[in-house]
Amino acid sequence: MKKVIKLSMIALTFSLIAACATTSDVEDLQSQVNGLNTSVKEASANAASAQTTASDAAAKAEAAKAAANEAAQLSEDANAKLNKKFKRSMMK
């Protein structure tokens, strides 16, 4: 019986020690989770900001492309006009 009590005491001590350690881990984990939450929020904010920047860049690129196309079209029109004038200058 004595032996059983001794063993029970040892087991209880270990369990308490183990329980304490578990609580500390949970707190640590909670802290990490909180930290991660903050990071996720920051990352989300960054992503949103990046998305806005990307959208702005895409819009600018689209505008630049449109402007380039317009310039190319104008240049092509000018060439066609000039070619037509050259052809007219070749008539007698």
Query: Which positions lie near other proteins, rule CB under 8 A?
Result: 75, 78-79, 82-83, 85-92
Residue 19 or 82 having the CB closest to other proteins: 82
C-alpha 14/C-alpha 9 separation (Å) is: 9
Residue 31 or 75 having the CB closest to other proteins: 75
Smallest distance, Å, CB 74 to other proteins? 11
Residue 42 or 76 having the CB closest to other proteins: 76
C-alpha 71/C-alpha 78 separation (Å) is: 10
C-alpha 73/C-alpha 61 separation (Å) is: 18
